[in-house]
Structure 1
Amino acid sequence: MSEQEWHVASLVVYCRPKQVAAVIATIEAEPGAEVPVSGEQGKLVVALEGAGQRHIVEHIDRIAALAGVVSTTLIYHEFAELVPGEESA
């Protein structure tokens, strides 16, 4: 794995309906993470991006360990080599 990679991933996260707002706030407080779609019944779509696969895996692990999260499922993962001089974010 090159240090010059940029990774993008998306997850479906199921959480307890009463904890949706808290889970979203915690996820979105992390750099490179956002929740573009959420449902009142606890289904979230989470987008992650960062430099390196380890960064993505650590995000997923932190999300899975949040209070109220029932499950996480990786839906999409892609990475690209950065061209010298290209900015990652």
Structure 2
Amino acid sequence: MSFKEVHISSLVVHCYPEHLSSIKLHIDTFNDAEIYGDSPEGKIVIVLETENQGFITDTIEAINNIPNVLSTVLVYHQIETNVDENKIKIKNTRTKYSRTEGEL
């Protein structure tokens, strides 16, 4: 059994509301990003699960470079160590190490 780190982060992206749909489609192409919610005002909540901190900063930079994105802010970062790499999430499988609201 092999173990490694998983970095769990959440971001809030603010964009022009009229471009919300296209920006969400673009963000969906990122392998380690999952959209958890959005608002009609142009705010998007994203959760990242990455192998290292460098991927987080790279993703923030990539999102900030999407046309019509106003800002991307890191609001949470947690490092899980000794995670069984056989259980690392594959996008959209819902086998996550992060907890959703209401779970303990």
2-structure distance, mates of 1:36, 1:79? 19
Instruction: Give the CA RMSD over aligned residues.
Output: 1.7
- Gap regions ≥5 residues in structure 2: 90-104
* Structure 1: 5+ residue stretches without partners: none
Give the alignment's TM-score, normalised by structure 2: 0.75
The 3 A distance-change label for structure 1 pair 88 and 18 is same
Alpha-carbon distance change, 33 to 85 in structure 1, aligned in 2, over 3 angstroms: closer
Shift of the alpha carbon at 1:84?
A: 5.6
1:53-64 equivalence runs, <5 A: 53-64=53-64
- Deviation of the 1:87 alpha carbon: 2.9
Residue 53 of structure 1: how far off its partner (Å): 0.6
Identity %: 31
Q: TM-score, normalised by structure 1?
A: 0.87
Report how many residues are paired.
Answer: 87
